[in-house]
A = this chain, B = another copy of it.
């Protein structure tokens, strides 16, 4: 029998999550990245962004109509000669002659001398003159320069996750690029001789490999760039080679499988001599856990059962990963348990639940292999370690998936 490496004693969920958060803290220091505004949707601003210009850039008309002096239309109806047309985008606006009107399009620069716009609906036009039927006061239908945002004023704050409305504002002030948090680059390494890729035929004893694909999807949903999804057999030399490839390209590595109490635990066997810490967390699913720093890159090692991998990510890594991406914390709140449940003593249990208007229903069993069952769940039901049973109607915490 392979000698079993020493393991840390069982830790609490909160303690282990905090341990991993500390291990990943330095990833918050990565440099920002300048991205083109059209590509910045969903990215997180790394710095406050201020406007390089006044917006509106110049005093302009809010309507299609006629730029006039308010004093000239104080008494209506009044007839004014139309001295010309100011179109949007045409430079060199001539001043408004005294006692006249200049036709203006929406957004066109206000001619010097004009102080209001009479909308086209309020005039009768013809033969080079207009009859103004309703006057306007000074400033009406005039957009003054800088009234939306002034040069140097904030357009969006550091930490803003850019929505279409932010993209619109950044583009409107003429910014070509914005500084955003660079994406974490993660690699996912699955292990196990029995795993086969999707679409292949299964020999006896083989199963499909889902953990790399699933973990990558979870990471991408949390703003991470997944640079590699790799698989290793249970051969230590092979795993070592795959791991070293990953450390060359990733900021952060996840492994699944090979951390439990079997005879062939490739992840634990390879990483323990490299300084890895392997042990038990008082949680179900996802008890066996490990972490190592290899070539300066944190390696988080989850157990290989598909539900264990996904729950481990959600509970231990996701809050930190999202914080590093500048995304809000996963929602965790109290609701009403709709179905009675039992739970093992001494282990915090995360059951799969379906949220309804009335509370949360536990669906699927506690088994860490029930990955198809997990697809129907939208939350994890968080049962404290000391609780061994809950009746329907009890308050319970949920964690959104």
Q: Give the B-binding residues of A (Cβ under 8 A).
A: 1, 37-38, 41-42, 51, 53, 55-58, 60, 62, 64, 85, 87-93, 103, 105-109, 120-121, 125, 143, 147-149, 155-156, 163-176, 192-196, 198-200, 202-211, 213-214, 216-218, 220-221, 229, 234, 260-264, 304-306, 310, 367-375, 377, 401
Contacts and interface: CB of A to CB of B under 8 A. Distances in A.
B371 A221 contact: no
6 contacts: A85-B263, A89-B206, A120-B261, A143-B367, A164-B310, A172-B371
Contact of A207 (B57, B163, B165, B200): B57
A174 B205 CA distance: 14
Contacts of A156: 375
Contacts of A170: 375
Contact of A62 (B120, B210, B367): B367
Where chain A touches its partner, the secondary structure class is: loop
B372 A88 contact: no
Contacts of A175: 198-199
Contact of A56 (B209, B261, B369): B369
Contact of A107 (B120, B196, B202, B304): B304
A173 B207 contact: no
A372 B57 contact: no
B166 A375 contact: yes
A332 to B, nearest CB: 17
B165 A205 contact: no
Contacts of A37: 198, 213
A372 B51 CA distance: 9
A328 to B, nearest CB: 13
A149 B372 contact: yes
A306 B165 CA distance: 10
Contacts of A165: 214, 310, 374-375, 377, 401
B87 A193 contact: yes
Given A109-B204, A198-B175, A163 B401 contact: yes
Contacts of A261: 64, 120-121
A263 B89 CA distance: 13
B202 A174 contact: yes
B199 A176 contact: yes
Contacts of A234: 89
Nearest to A368: B62
A120 B261 CA distance: 8
Contact of A220 (B41, B56, B171, B370): B41
Contacts of A64: 260-262
Given A164-B310, A401-B163, A148 B89 contact: no
B174 A198 contact: yes
Nearest to A202: B57
A39 B287 CA distance: 30
Contact of A372 (B155, B206, B229, B264): B155
B372 A148 contact: yes
Contact of A204 (B58, B196, B372): B58
Nearest to A36: B198
Given A260-B106, A262-B106, A38 B217 contact: yes
A168 B374 contact: yes
